[in-house]
Structure 1
């Protein structure tokens, strides 16, 4: 018997004593103090005995699943909304150091086992405490499946630079689930995961798993209908309340392993009813997802049978371990890679705006400059086209001869014209990335760089650390791009390629025509044909309103962030206005470039939110929009513009004083706002449909 096998046996033989020591480490925590004081031995049996077995199994078998399970239990222990981040970090450090000491002390006589414990805790501590590049706040609505998933997801997500901040709703009662969801309505989540049936999420579905249900086939049919209806109600509530992507399971009739003969026979007998419920719900969820996605929401369906893979749903239900409170099944490990990809996209890709692509051995196989022909990677190019259609812009960053790096694209395939910026030369790629950023007025945090060469990726990451560099030779990179497209809303006109072409033409005109004098500047801008249409937002505009507010940093007076539901509530109020401005010129439309929200507050006309896209800086549009808002003031009413300085909003800080406002607590004030207009540049043609303040208003239905 090896030292590691001896150590595993020793730990199991000392389970009660070690479990008691581990339990004592958390006995003073608020959420554990009462149950520990009431029954220390019982508390240890339910909360910490499993930890001893996980460590024993880890050093005995080397199976990393048991390390993941240990990490998952720690993540659940550390999940405590009643403490702040500093106290949480202190708890993590003290507890993990204490647990390491307890286990190593038990194995003093077995040096190899002590080394194995130290190595295991090095990984465990890193997974639970290391700094991450991004955080993802996720809401998990489902049975204890999600407690299993967290175990297998925490460490791999951190490898991707993402720290997961989970929130769980695991009740089996549909009414209670909806109540808990409602209480979270004002919270912002980055993603919501919803598993309606697995393993026995809803009580009506759980009833279909019981052998005695076979005595009442009619009741089972009713339970099928009730379970499906309850699951859909919960889905609709989630989709109505939250703006973030929702990832929902199309369920499979997975049943956790049963050892008794009666239970096994019952599982066989009830399978047809469980399968019927899963099929009906899966079909209904896909229909609802398509309807929601058509309206600009994001619902992504995961098929449980597909995720179980070749092993199948029977293997998915097998237990990895089984204790009083911990009973992880294989399905948690099976689906964790799918969840890891989603968390990676949400945390590190979803808010980025541009992909800079290498060419040779990235978009095609071969070196195009050699003149020997290349083989196009259409499978890689397809997700790029999908992302382009959903608003992500494409650029080229390639060491190549620009005269040779050209290709004839078939209809519907990726072409040279799909790239808004092309840096094809022999310069260092970090230099080219900066040129692309300057050309498109984007920041390095907006960029993804994909290249087949590790040295090129390393140079870009070193010099532009906020840029995400991906390996073109890793199939996962392209899988992430495909998923990124799935998790972006499909909206008409999202493709921004033409917008950047128009922008280049506009800037070229300005560069050619510009003179140093004010008179020449006015003449030049007049030739642009700048038109500004200002109106109240309608129901179809509210997604764009929320998106523009949340994505604007430089001209955002208060650094505001909103949910779509908050925008809908503002748009429905009689004492508030959600104004939007669309800009265009001789080169084409610039789209919706500004949102200004005004409301009557404490006798004043207040502007709590005012944002303007950086693509129209310099044209004076900010004053024209502010002037239309000023007209909403009634006689004698002051207009107040709050200003909260952020690290990014320097460009907008002088707008209020330049518009005749004076300093006031928390911002800028214009007394008797209706008396004097705000000056608007003569080169702007204003088309405003904002009603007079005393006119009857009809809000768009929301």
Structure 2
């Protein structure tokens, strides 16, 4: 059933009034997803009153994120806005607000309340008064330039200190320039000079993230360009609230996207309908020549949407089609229509038949080796959207209306595929998934999996993680859920620290076969502890499951430990909602349990009896010789 925003708001209020909001927190998140404007604000205030500890106890599978909030002005609307956004994404917000105007002390003093909370995210909210409170009266553009340069220099020092502390992610933002400052200059030449000075300061802010891996800088200019008011003069003067609630709400939405990415909840695959979504008309009725794409006003809108989809696909987002259509006709349209921006090579899979779409999505997930909750589903049919919502609650469903001009806005609204950095592995992802289809076809020619693996020609290279690998290894920890033995998430800075730690042994796993190169598909994060070698985490991309790559790497690590004088290897498994399939990884490979086990279990291998490595894999070792 299609739940309207009015119905969702009423149900949310009923949950709060009955005292069931904590018990129904995941359901509440789905209701909040339907809300905008004042109703979203009210929902945030309801959710901000809840005890995050009680939510976490009631729903232990939901990730909790401690968020420090500091800044120059008062930020009263920000916590409720964050509470709403975190609920939408299935996260539990643990806010740590600090006194306004205290951001320098909060960030510099290691004993501050903010640092003591050990937040995963620290929001240092900057507003125009950060600069203008330092500007004399009367002032000229050069005065603003000097004040802005001094403030940015201070913020650069704060970012460097935060980076050195090695705790969490610091979020900064650019400072919007309200018209009331430019309007105080009566000549256009001075206004232009002020604009230059302000943009120079914001450019320096944006570049802080280039030098400090623990820093993210959110650019508020695109939000302001959408017509969001920057400041309310009364609140700015009387309450020291220098950014409006609307702007803080939009900022909170971007923080929600970031928190989702940091907790491994970034989506991986964009699943698209065709008729009414990628083109106008009905392919089966109108034929290839009759669909709307590229010509006329609606056709141009559909083409613009396709170009945005193609842009996302070029950055590692997997594109797939699930459509009620004839497959041959779909292939013809993608191949032959002269204005089509998307073609068959852009998609990892095209599913066109008359089966229920939620069933096709389940089969698509199985075929790609992905969980359905890594999908974003886009369809112009409200019936299909609600059916998918009901059958696959973890799938993000994008609501489209009948006007294709709004398709782009709807798709990009939630930053489902946001990442800290796009790597070379990301850009090659679609090709690699298409190669996997060739592997599956190759498998059909063999009577046994053993024969198939032997002929596949798998080669694996295991070697120390380098600085150039840090972004990709971090991404594996953030996005890999099924073969992630502890579920620990690392930022690029954390990986870089491992590369400089003499007791650590961070290893990158690369793989390929006769059909192509998989790239960097796994990581083993180990460290030496006296005469023990401890495996802190082991990760492997779902693209290369069931090929014994993990056994090959573990076998090499065991032999390496024995040959370098270790008495034993210890491995840790920590259960998460998605890694149960590898709970027996260590026992299956000759490790014995140490202690009682439970959700976090430690296993030990005494190195006296190491099984032979998988015969069908050619392993290249750090020393450069095949193992």
TM range (shorter): 0.7 to 0.9
**Aligned-partner Cα distance in 2 for 1:181–1:409:** 62
Pick closer, same or farther for the CA change 1:195–1:507 going to 2, 3 Å.
same
Determine whether 1:663 maps to 2:575: no
**Aligned-partner Cα distance in 2 for 1:511–1:501:** 16
Determine whether 1:359 maps to 2:274: yes
Pick closer, same or farther for the CA change 1:182–1:611 going to 2, 3 Å.
farther
Q: Return the offset for 1:603.
A: 2.9
Q: Which residue matches 2:291?
A: 373
1:655-691 Cα shifts (integer Å, max 9, x gaps)? 43343333323422222x2x55431111111110159
The structure 1 residue matched to 2:612, chosen from 679, 691, 699, is 679
1:19-45 Cα shifts (integer Å, max 9, x gaps)? xxxxxxxxxxxxxxxxxxxxxxxxxxx
Q: Which residue matches 2:390?
A: 462
Where do 1:47-446 residues align within 5 Å?
Answer: 68=41, 85-86=53-54, 138-144=67-73, 146-150=75-79, 165-168=94-97, 172=101, 175-179=104-108, 193-196=123-126, 198-201=127-130, 205-208=132-135, 211=137, 222-235=146-159, 246=171, 248-252=173-177, 278-288=198-208, 291=210, 299-303=217-221, 307=224, 316-319=231-234, 326=239, 328=241, 331-336=243-248, 338-339=250-251, 341-343=253-255, 345-346=257-258, 351-369=266-284, 370-371=286-287, 372-375=290-293, 376=299, 377-405=302-330, 406-407=333-334, 408=336, 413-446=341-374
Q: Which residue matches 2:571?
A: 641
**Aligned-partner Cα distance in 2 for 1:512–1:584:** 20
Count of aligned pairs between the two proteins: 556
Q: Return the offset for 1:233.
A: 3.2
**Aligned-partner Cα distance in 2 for 1:150–1:645:** 31
1:290-330 Cα shifts (integer Å, max 9, x gaps)? x469x9986442228x61766976xx34225976xx4556x
Contact 2:56 2:62 in 1 (8 A): no
Pick closer, same or farther for the CA change 1:167–1:84 going to 2, 3 Å.
closer
Q: Return the offset for 1:605.
A: 1.5
The structure 1 residue matched to 2:379, chosen from 442, 445, 451, is 451
Contact 2:326 2:352 in 1 (8 A): yes
**Aligned-partner Cα distance in 1 for 2:542–2:84:** 39
Contact 2:172 2:217 in 1 (8 A): yes
**Aligned-partner Cα distance in 2 for 1:455–1:435:** 20
Pick closer, same or farther for the CA change 1:317–1:232 going to 2, 3 Å.
farther
Q: Which residue matches 1:514?
A: 447
**Aligned-partner Cα distance in 1 for 2:590–2:60:** 46
Bigger fraction of residues in helix? 1
Q: Which residue matches 2:496?
A: 568
Give me the CA root mean square deviation: 4.5
**Aligned-partner Cα distance in 2 for 1:67–1:621:** 47
Determine whether 1:471 maps to 2:399: yes
Q: Which residue matches 1:52?
A: none
Q: Return the offset for 1:146.
A: 3.1
**Aligned-partner Cα distance in 1 for 2:198–2:78:** 21
Q: Which residue matches 1:585?
A: 513
Contact 2:159 2:170 in 1 (8 A): no
Q: Which of structures 1 and 2 has the bigger CA Rg?
A: 1
**Aligned-partner Cα distance in 2 for 1:163–1:220:** 40
1:44-75 Cα shifts (integer Å, max 9, x gaps)? xxxxxxxxxxxxxxxxxxxx879959976x88
Where do 1:10-29 residues align within 5 Å?
Answer: none
Determine whether 1:611 maps to 2:535: no
Contact 2:277 2:379 in 1 (8 A): yes
Q: Return the offset for 1:86.
A: 3.1
Contact 1:169 1:180 in 2 (8 A): no
Which secondary structure does the structure 1 equivalent of 2:434 belong to? helix
Q: TM-score, normalised by structure 1?
A: 0.68
The structure 1 residue matched to 2:421, chosen from 489, 493, 499, is 489
Pick closer, same or farther for the CA change 1:452–1:186 going to 2, 3 Å.
farther
1:130-151 Cα shifts (integer Å, max 9, x gaps)? 9999876544442225334446
Which secondary structure does the structure 2 equivalent of 1:201 belong to? helix
Q: Return the offset for 1:557.
A: 2.8
Unmatched segments (≥5 aa) in structure 2: 1-36, 294-298, 596-600
**Aligned-partner Cα distance in 2 for 1:595–1:186:** 31
Q: Return the offset for 1:524.
A: 3.0
Contact 1:199 1:254 in 2 (8 A): no
